[in-house]
Structure 1
Amino acid sequence: MTSTNASQADSYPGPGERTPHADPLFGPGSQFHEFFNDPRWALAVIRATVLEAAHPQIGAALIDNSTFVAHPWRRLQNTFLSLQRMFGADDEVRQREAARLNRLHSRLNGTDARNHPYDAMDPEVRAWVVATLFESTVTMCRLSGQPLEQHTMERLYAEFQAFLAALGDQAGHLPPTLNEFWRYYDRVVEEELENTEALRIILYKLFDHLPAPALLDGLPTVWAAGRALAGPVIGAITVASLPEPFRRRAGLPEIPGAQTLTQTAYLAAGLVRFVPGGWINAEGVASLLALSPESDDPRARTVMAVRDGIKRAGALLRLITPLPAEPEPTTATGSQRSAEEFFRTVLDQTGDGSLDWPDLAAMARELAGRLDLDEPAETRLYAAYAEWWKELQQALDSDGDGRISAEEYAAAVPTLAGPALIKVADVLFDATDADGNQSIDADEYRTLFRTGFQRDLADTGGTYSRSAFVKEFLSFMSGRQRSTAFDPLLAQA
């Protein structure tokens, strides 16, 4: 879209429409499609996430509701999947994903620690999320020495406008022209962004304490060594790439050489684009990081073989490095787990040290997303989790503060498999049983768990009955029994 065409537009291009010179706004041939598998875009997405977190409303929503601290790899994979659906060529898939995102955002509202309201459906908030993705993509190209030409930027901006329009937002939430966008962007950066708690967690906690992805979970020393080197570097690169007025106003540190390091990192990432086609695939990398060691994916077996070799090397590494030892898991042997670990890895989905409604809502959100539920089934799942939350509050919230601490949970030594949790299990079974034949077949199992059957089923014919499914879910959610199916679904990072 040229600037002349953009200035004449009264509204965003609709989903599936094309710009006047017939460039597609979605799918193959779009500008975004060319960037999606660009390795530099990983750095751009991190930068965009920091700019989002600096917005007071978005920062508050992240602190209260997001799983980005406790389950960052799961969050990463879900983000890539959502962007793939929204920017793909299939209009029906895009509309379905837009409806799902709108339902998700409609549930994210409340007040922050200063009693200021936040609402993820606020059109200005949604516009800022899209603005950060667009601007960070432009900055990505500039920092790597390949700035976009004006007409390419205008085409990319039209695609992000169409993305916002696909969500149902009206014209005006993003400026109609690219020139007006830059004035809008500078105003938000200078007047609205803050050094929020969410921003500080991302920059100073998440990078330094990033949990290992599932396939590397058994290599704590190796992961800690790599993280100790990469975490500060990623943080420095991200801070140095942020707009200078915001860095100054937020009091973010100026690290000598950080600007040079940032440009070098973007340039080096850009060089990876020249490896043979198909070697770099954003969705594939994200899904690989989220693979469970028990997965039947051939890539998991390959990585596990490599991991076994790294374990042997890790023994030597522990002898020659001064890194402190990683704490040993507080679990019993075999299939049992401690109450403390269950609370930390399963119940506390947001990673804030307590259990409240956003934690259970995060579970419902993950399950609904995996199953790609429509509105009635998703609402039924959320309602079942809400009833379970009421049951948990009545049983465990001894001080009446509206949340359950790890101490309250451990002191009660609860048996959580009450009527409300049984209802959750039944609703989840119904949602997974897509054909309604009262058994879960291999395809339905894979949709939920992203792997094939991991064990001999009690049933004949290679299916998973309601009773077997409910029994295993309750055993897992009661907090004591591990599960090769549900642990990768709800416990892994």
Structure 2
Amino acid sequence: MTTVTTDAADQAPLFGPDSQFGAFFDDPRWALAMIRATVLEAAHPQIGAALVDNSTFVAHPWRRLRNTFFSMRRMFGTDPVVREREAARLNRLHARMSGSDSRGRAYDAMDRATRAWVVATLFESAVTMCRLSGQPLDQDTMERMYAEYRTFLAALDGDAAELPQDLNDFWRYFDGVVENELENTEAARVILYRLFDHLPAPALLDGVPTLWAAGRAVAGPLLGAITVASLPEPYRRRAGLPEMPGASTLMQGAYLTAGLARFLPQGWINAESLIETLSLSPDSDDPRARMMSALGSRMKRASALLRLLTPLSGDLAPDADSAPSANTGGSRRSAVEFFRKVLDQTGDGYLDWPDLAAMARELATRLDLAEPEETRLYDAFAAWWRELQAALDTDGDGRVSADEYGTAAPSLAGPALIRVAEVLFDATDKDGNGAIDADEYRTLFRTAFHRNLTTTDGTYGRSAFVGDFLSFMSGRRAGTPYDPLLADA
């Protein structure tokens, strides 16, 4: 019997760079394993319903990836204070997510058994990725890693009782959930058959849509096929997932190729640096963003030259790369584009409370707000939602469609939105001196002051901040610091 005991767990730190989780953090195989784990999570009815109703993973997948990555890093870091703070933040976030699915079944993101399944998929997918890449874990390493994940669950729930203590019992538990509880949920189908095929470009590559679309057309179906082939066979059978010819070989090859990264020099692959780079806005002051912007400009000029040299270029549709950028300073979005890119955070085609809650969640995450400030921000957004619902929900279905929004063409700068801006300013102004300095500005926007925002004393005042926020939200003006914050994927 292989029981994970407290004594075994105490032999070495379960968190930090010496943990088994830490050893996988910069491993390219982890990307494939995380996709697989996410599908297994989404296949659980409760988690799938919560994702469909509340998550931004469809419209803003890169933002979701970044936030998840840094949350996991905080949870598995060495500082217990940081871990406790992050656990409390996650619990507050999940406590706000409950409802019912399309079949009327209730879901609650704080359900302990459901949260245990999330942790179980992460552990099992890590074990599977090692096996598929030809580097299976030995029993002692598996037991140690299992102890890490149970301790992670305990940090969230107070204990790890929902996961079996014995590793052998865990495999029976995992197989039982796969056999009896997982379904072909809408969320799982979206990940496998919609997200990969329509994945929006990360912020840094938003200026080269043709290049991104070409790469996605090849990589999207391959990722989908690899993920399906890696899922447990009982789930594939129950869900009726199609098995492409050669998909198993392709999947094995992908994991084996990713596993070759172990032969690279230490530090050549840094997941944090990669995610930070992809998240950079094209107009960021970061040198990496300036380099990509310069490369994008050259590609656009080359594309324009190619069209001039093509005999039938006049009959061809304009290249997407030559279209005016949504991030061009001073440009204005149409009402439809503003609805899709800013208001509809969950990507379901409607504006309702989960969309505004997602905005509040992103702002609170960026600013690392504690409970009182976070609650004030959510309350301000809730009041704004009530104001929008009263003004725009003409058919009384409890949500606002794109047509309802476009037909009304409203000015959103009502009293409730002004209150949102004021609460956001107060949350950003950490030292409470009535102005946002350069460091506070960078915390929220992840870039330096723009020239048109700096003042003689190098700060950003309340009235200017509120005015710019209202201009973005009601005037639909693009090319502002709020685009990377609320509009980027």
TM above 0.5: yes
CA distance in 2, matches of 1:74, 1:420: 26
Partner amino acid for 1:389?
W
Q: Deviations over 1:365-420 (max 9, x none)?
A: 00000100000000000000000000001111111110001111111111100000
| Matched-pair contact (CA < 8 Å) for 1:39–1:273 | no
| Matched-pair contact (CA < 8 Å) for 2:229–2:247 | yes
Q: Which residue of 2 aligns with 1:193?
A: 182
Q: Which residue of 2 aligns with 1:403?
A: 399
Q: Which residue of 2 aligns with 1:364?
A: 360
| 2:408 is the counterpart of 1:412 | yes
Deviation at 1:182, TM superposition (A): 0.2
CA distance in 2, matches of 1:75, 1:262: 25
CA distance in 2, matches of 1:204, 1:403: 26
| Matched-pair contact (CA < 8 Å) for 1:70–1:349 | yes
Percent of pairs with identical residues: 72
CA distance in 1, matches of 2:388, 2:325: 24
| 2:246 is the counterpart of 1:270 | no
Q: Which residue of 2 aligns with 1:225?
A: 214
| 2:240 is the counterpart of 1:244 | no
Partner amino acid for 1:451?
T
Select the residue among 470, 474, 477 that pairs with 1:478. Answer: 474
Q: Which residue of 2 aligns with 1:339?
A: 335
* Secondary structure at 2:157 match in 1: coil
How many equivalent residue pairs? 482
Partner amino acid for 1:164?
L
CA distance in 2, matches of 1:329, 1:117: 45
| 2:425 is the counterpart of 1:436 | no
Deviation at 1:289, TM superposition (A): 1.1
* Secondary structure at 1:295 match in 2: coil
What aligned pairs does 1:38-53 form with structure 2 within 5 A after superposition? 38-53=27-42
Q: Deviations over 1:51-99 (max 9, x none)?
A: 0000000000000000000000000100101000000111111000000
| Matched-pair contact (CA < 8 Å) for 1:225–1:323 | no
Q: Deviations over 1:212-271 (max 9, x none)?
A: 111111211111110000000000000000000110110001111111111110111111
Q: Which residue of 2 aligns with 1:450?
A: 446
Between 331-340 and 49-58, report the one with greater CA deviation. Answer: 331-340
CA distance in 1, matches of 2:58, 2:9: 43
CA distance in 2, matches of 1:133, 1:311: 41
Deviation at 1:326, TM superposition (A): 5.3
* Secondary structure at 1:478 match in 2: helix
Select the residue among 204, 221, 228 that pairs with 1:215. Answer: 204
The 1:55–1:458 alpha-carbon spacing in structure 2 relative to 1, beyond 3 Å, is same
| Matched-pair contact (CA < 8 Å) for 1:19–1:25 | no
| 2:108 is the counterpart of 1:119 | yes
Q: Deviations over 1:182-231 (max 9, x none)?
A: 00000000000000000111111000000011111121111111000000
CA distance in 2, matches of 1:191, 1:76: 29
* TM-score normalized by the length of structure 1: 0.94
What aligned pairs does 1:132-147 form with structure 2 within 5 A after superposition? 132-147=121-136
Structural RMSD (CA): 2.2
Q: Deviations over 1:306-326 (max 9, x none)?
A: 333333455588879x99965
Q: Which residue of 1 aligns with 2:345?
A: 349
Select the residue among 445, 457, 463 that pairs with 2:459. Answer: 463
Structure 2 unaligned segments of length 5 or more: list them.
none
CA distance in 2, matches of 1:361, 1:272: 39
Between 237-246 and 405-414, report the one with greater CA deviation. Answer: 405-414
Q: Deviations over 1:15-41 (max 9, x none)?
A: xxx745622100021111000110100
* Secondary structure at 2:478 match in 1: coil
Moved over 3 A (4+): 18-21, 309-320, 322-334
CA distance in 2, matches of 1:47, 1:377: 35
Between 283-292 and 88-97, report the one with greater CA deviation. Answer: 283-292
What aligned pairs does 1:23-422 form with structure 2 within 5 A after superposition? 23-314=12-303, 334-422=330-418
* TM-score normalized by the length of structure 2: 0.94
Structure 1 unaligned segments of length 5 or more: list them.
none
